Amino acid sequence: MHNLVVSLGVPILLLLVGCASQPYPSLPSDSPGFSGTGRELDPVAPSEQVGGKAPGTESSFAAPVSQEVTPPPPDPAALPGANKRQLDIRLATQRFNYFEDDQLVWTGPISSGTAEHPTPRGSFLVRSKDINKRSGSYTNYFDQPTPMPYSLQFSGPYFVHEGYVTGRPESHGCVRLRHEDAKFVYSRMHIGDRIVVAD
């Protein structure tokens, strides 16, 4: 009976955590990356790159991404105010870079839209924020609107939001960030701030 409960519980949990309902691989421990100093433009040192190749190459997408953010993002309340905030989404490397006053503050992996459901490219402004957004298009295992916490709307039905991140294109066009990353970016960005989506 216990094995039945466990085997039924895992698929249900996986179906609740993102835009698209897909089976996901098991997760290893987080790979080394950004040190959190707020000044590094290359978030992965050459010695820490997957398979000795730079991020953005096919082999860098091979290793699953831990959903635990280590080290955690800076405390949003401890950071000084900023006159300019910008979130850059890099589709080729499946990473985000968050800047304040042209200084890199935080970076991390993403999952963007697939080739069938691409994330729109371009320069956008945050149109709305919703900490408890629910999808108007997709449902979860319980046939309820899929949760999209910490959502930043940037173009029509496209949002940056918390979701399951694999470091590969996996969504229906939204940009997924891990929980702590999404919470941090959401807390710092304002309506009208710039989101740039590019290769």
pLDDT tens digits for range 49-88: 333 333 343 444 446 789 999 999 999 999 999 999 999 9
Residue 88: exposure state from Cβ atoms within 10 A (0-12, 13-18, ≥19): middle
User: Which range has the worst mean pLDDT, 29-38, 74-83, 113-122, 161-170?
Assistant: 29-38
User: Residue 111 pLDDT > 70, yes or no?
Assistant: yes
Q: Check whether 36 has a pLDDT greater than 70.
A: no
Q: What is the mean pLDDT of residues 12-24?
A: 41
Per-residue pLDDT averaged across 145-166, rounded? 94
DSSP-derived secondary structure for 21-76: --------PPPP---S-S--SSSS-GGGSGGG--TTSGGGGTSPPPSS-SSPPP-G
- Domains of the chain (ranges; CATH) run 2-198 (2.40.440.10)
Task: List all residues 6 or more positions away from 10 whose beta carbon is below 8 Å from its beta carbon.
Answer: none
The predicted-structure confidence for 157-173, as pLDDT tens digits, reads as follows 999 999 999 999 999 99
Helices (H), the chain: 2-15, 179-188
Strand partners, 152: 129, 160
- pLDDT winner (highest mean) among 83-87, 133-137, 141-145: 83-87
* Weakest mean pLDDT among 107-116, 136-145, 189-198: 136-145
Amino acid at 84: K
Nearest to 160 by CA among 137, 140, 189: 189
Q: How far is Cα 122 from Cα 126, in angstroms, rounded to an integer?
A: 13
Answer with the residue of higher pLDDT: 66 or 44. 66
pTM beyond cutoff 0.75: no
With a cut of 80, say whether residue 45 has pLDDT above it. Answer: no
Q: What is the pLDDT of residue 134?
A: 82
